[in-house]
Structure 1
Amino acid sequence: MSENVARRGFLVGGLGGAALLAAGCTSNEPAAAPSSAAAAPAPAASGNDQPGTKVTIGFSAPAADHGWIAAIAKNAEATAKQYSDIDFKPVEPTNDINQQISAVESLIAQKVNALVILPNDGQQLNQVALQATEAGIPVINLDRVFPDKLAYRTWIGGDNYGMGVAAGHFIGKQLKDKGVSNPVIVEIQGIATLPLTQDRSKGFADALKTYGFSVTAKQDAKFTVETGNQVATSLLQAHKKIDAMWNHDDDQGVGVLAAIKEAGRDEFVMVGGAGSLNAMKEIQSGTSVLKATVTYSPTMASSAIRLARLVAQGKGMSDLVENSVPQSITLASETITKDNVEKYLELGFES
């Protein structure tokens, strides 16, 4: 694999516009600049941030072999450290389903006060999440959803359908403005079997339909740089002319862009997904096929830790009237273009 395909170091910025604007347990103050250390949002100025009952929060997520996942883990840890009343108990991150189940079972056995779980696969970890709930431990389900609502107290994640809609509208408008008819539109998914990927694809198809367009070809790239490179190479070879490309994930997009540059192709417009720093820099350059990316902010992990703390302490969200934390929180997906990229740069994570 060439150097421009190799994975780079990780960093994470502060809480961006896609984060939880309504919640009193979050802040919108950006970090001063990107750095290799996690720059989790500063605690909001509310009564909820005063030290309360000491709570132990368990945390489990996949292995940090992906920029977005690395940012999730760093944000969770950094946010937990901001509170003197949180005892943070992360378990070894893993991509092995059975190992993650065992790790969560160990946290249940320790009788933690709350669990924050980003499952490798919500379906396969549903049973262990139910075990936690049945043991009286509230589960904050992060991102990849458990199919059984009894398995979690609160879900927080990005708007996957909204990501697809945003990408579809950006591409649809670009092609309409150019007067393109019957365009060749290719889509590079993450992991095709995940509900989040299916939601992204459905949103994309639904938005394109409003312009009279549809996806010509799609293939999944497993959220990895290497597979992104392979899939993009295959699609470029199969389609001698492409009008638009949507790549679901900016991490795998490192490999996608490398394949595009290697092939010397620049006849199409490309949209990314998640909002990585390197994607933003490509957009800012004005010389790349990558013209936009739609956000899916890893700052959701910061909010998940704060929600777990509130639930464990029996508190609600200070900006809401209700006395308890909502059952489901969906973050907004925003479109980053050359026109607004400046305000997002310091919020990006490195792929």
Structure 2
Amino acid sequence: MKKLVSMILILVMALMSIPALAETEAYGGIEGTIYWIGKMYEGDGWMAITDGAKLAAEEMGLDVSFTYPEGGELDVAGQINLVENAINNGAAAICVAPNDSNALVAVCQQVVDAGIPLIMYDTALADPSLQTCFISYDFYKQGVMAADALNEHFDGAEIKVAVINATAGNEAHMNREHGFTDTIAEKYPNITLVGEVLYCDNDSVTAMNQATDLMSANPDLDAIYACNSMAVEGVAPAVLAQGNTVAVVSCDTSDAIVQAIKDGTIVFTSTCAASAIGYLSIVAAAKVLAGEELTDIEWNGQTFPLDTETMTYDSGVYGIDADVVNDESMTYLFRPLTWFDTYEGWEW
């Protein structure tokens, strides 16, 4: 645990102490509009990703259009329409976090056919050959970390765990699910999965009802793994209402998740440098439009390496538990929006 805290502290102090690089100021002459298409504008994580992108656009003097499908992460058709509109409006570049990795392949092929640079972020496209580059973090690793943390919490004892995921068509959510279930199957014969994986359609009320039903039908249930913020924000209060007799492991952070960790309901979650994902997506688009070769990107004292084989930037994954949330120096990691409250000149 001390090693985990030390690694996080290094990241946090880097984010807090060093201003954005002046190199971003050289891109104000780029013509045209970059269309930045998100999954949704809800939850601290997605708001931080968006704010990171807006900060980069402001610093670089770029014209960026920020849009989101009206129905959020479940609105695949709406997101496809946004990409089509960007193409028709003559976008200089398009940045997309796909709500469905397979369903967006066809419209992303249209982007490439139109000669428009395509920057994917957060979630990969099913056909990676279409994307100019990809900015994200390891969702599968989050599932692995959750399984490891669960086993450690119970000291390797025999336990039963259920899984509540968000959506079945979202690559990020499925990787989190498979990272967890694969790790249990490969490493932990002492952990038994109860029933089928449930999907809450990214709705916290549905997740709450599913968790309540699971605990009623399985009085010997020891734990629930919730794969994203919307799922765990429903699972945690359901478990709390039952007296915290079931341990919860999850992914993502928010004020509600942090409080549930402090209450002892959630024993572990994980997160990324959310603002960096948004920031890097705009910087990458600008570099491509300026005719530059993509290389490692530095921001706020941290280097985000480019895997030149897959053209992927990794923002990293960080574990969060009671030791971390009770350390005020870690606030900038588990409450990502607070970083912008202290950033000099930030007015979004």
TM-score interval, normalised by the smaller of the two chains: 0.7 to 0.9
Pick from 249, 253, 256 the counterpart of residue 228 of structure 2: 249
1:309 maps onto 2:293 in alignment: no
Task: Report the Cα distance in structure 2 between the residues aligned to 1:146 and 1:121, rounded to whole angstroms.
Answer: 8
1:328 pairs with 2:312: yes
Are residue 137 (structure 1) and residue 116 (structure 2) matched? yes
For 2:56 and 2:14, how far apart are their aligned partners in 1? Answer: 14
| Residue 16 (structure 2) aligns with | 30
**Structure 2 letter corresponding to 1:267:** T
CA distance in 2: counterparts of 1:68 and 1:318, whole angstroms: 23
> Counterparts of 1:55-94 in structure 2 under 5 Å?
55=31, 56-84=33-61, 86-94=62-70
Distance 1:111 1:165, change over 3 A: same
Q: Distance in 1 between matches of 2:188 and 2:203?
A: 31
Q: Is the 8 A contact 2:44 2:253 kept in 1?
A: no
Tell me, in whole angstroms, the C-alpha distance in 2 between the residues paired with 1:48 and 1:83: 5
When the two chains are superposed, the root-mean-square deviation of aligned CA atoms in Å is 2.9
Q: Is the 8 A contact 1:48 1:318 kept in 2?
A: no
Residues 274 and 297 in structure 1, CA contact (< 8 A), matched pair in contact too: no
Aligned to 1:54: 30
In structure 2, the residue matched to 1:113 is 92
Take 1:101 and 1:211, find their aligned partners in 2: how far apart are those partners? 41
For the residue of structure 1 that corresponds to 2:15, the secondary structure is coil
* Secondary structure class of the residue paired with 2:85: helix
Cα distance, 1:324 vs structure 2: 8.1
SS in 2 for 1:63: coil
| Alignment pair present for 1:125 and 2:104 | yes
**Residues 1:344 and 2:322 are matched in the alignment:** no
Residue 194 of structure 2 aligns with an amino acid whose one-letter code is T
Most deviating of 61-70 and 264-273: 61-70
Misfit runs of 4+, over 4 Å: 318-326
Larger mean Cα displacement after TM superposition, 211-220 or 61-70: 61-70
What aligned pairs does 1:211-290 form with structure 2 within 5 A after superposition? 211-212=188-189, 213-217=191-195, 218-262=197-241, 264-283=242-261, 285=262, 287-290=263-266
Alignment partner of 1:205 is 2:205: no
Within the candidate set 74, 93, 97, 2:76 is matched to 97
SS of corresponding position for 1:200: helix
Whether contact under 8 Å (2:162, 2:223) holds in the other structure is yes
Describe the superposition over 1:106-140 as per-residue Cα deviations: whole angstroms up to 9, x where unpaired: 21123222111112212112111111111111111
- Distance in 2, matches of 1:93 and 1:282, equals 30
Amino acid at match of 1:219: L
2:127 corresponding residue in structure 1: 148
| Greater alpha carbon shift after TM alignment, 54-63 vs 93-102 | 93-102
> So what's the TM-score if we normalise by structure 2?
0.79
AA in 2 matched with 1:125: L
**Preserved contact between residue 271 and residue 294 of structure 1 (Cα < 8 Å):** no
Q: 1:270–1:291: 8 Å Cα contact kept in structure 2?
A: yes
Task: Read off the aligned partner of 2:322 and give its amino acid letter.
Answer: K
Q: Counterparts of 1:197 and 1:102 in 2: how far apart (Å)?
A: 23
> Shift of the alpha carbon at 1:145?
2.0
Alpha-carbon contact 2:163-2:198 (below 8 Å) kept: yes
Which one is further off, 185-194 or 64-73? 64-73
Cα shift at 1:42: 5.0
For residue 270 of structure 2, what is the aligned residue in structure 1?
294
Other structure's SS at 2:193 match: coil
Pairs aligned (count): 310
Separation (CA, whole Å) in 2 of partners of 1:99 and 1:282: 33
Per the normalisation by structure 1, the TM-score is 0.78
Partner SS for 1:245: strand
* Identity, % of aligned positions: 22
Residues 322 and 280 of structure 1: CA distance in aligned 2, closer, same or farther (over 3 Å): closer
| Counterpart secondary structure, 2:104 | helix
Distance 1:250 1:30, change over 3 A: farther
Shift of 1:248: 1.0
